Amino acid sequence: MLKEMVREEFEQDIAEGSVLLDFYSKTCGPCKMLAFVLQDVEKQFGDDVKIIKIDFEENPDLIEKYNVEGYPTLIMFKDGVELSRKAGLQQKPVIIKMIEESL
């Protein structure tokens, strides 16, 4: 199951290892389609990557901090450093490449 962001754990979650943030909205059609893709990707990579979902409307401070302009937006981190980002609905091979480049 994809992990919803927990405010108290957020900084610790992105500080170590490979982490993919999914900025989404519950009312966004492409975000819902992306969730299915991310579930498949999560199964493929297991514990090698954390995928954390961040609700756009509930986290305006993180939207501002990471300069997210729309949803869905994916941001790939490695040990707390942003490596790449993609805006809009992404296909599975693009997401896999983002993750593989962080491992």
Residue pLDDT, tens place only, 44-93: 999 999 999 999 999 999 999 999 999 999 999 999 999 999 999 999 99
Whether 44 is catalytic: no
Contact 83, 102 (CB under 8 A): yes
Measured CA to CA, the distance from residue 71 to residue 88 in angstroms comes to: 6
Q: Give the CATH number, domain containing residue 37.
A: 3.40.30.10
Q: Does 59 reside within a domain?
A: yes
Q: What is the tally of structural domains in the chain?
A: 1
Q: Does 96 reside within a domain?
A: no
* pLDDT for 77: 96
- The phi-psi region of residue 99 (left if phi > 0; otherwise alpha if psi is between -120 and 50; otherwise beta) is alpha
Q: Does 99 reside within a domain?
A: no
Q: Does 44 reside within a domain?
A: yes
Range of the domain at 47: 3-90
pTM tops 0.85: yes
Choose, from 28, 37, 89, 96, the residue flagged as catalytic. Answer: 28
Whether 46 is catalytic: no
Token output for 65: 């901090």
Choose, from 14, 20, 21, 31, the residue flagged as catalytic. Answer: 31
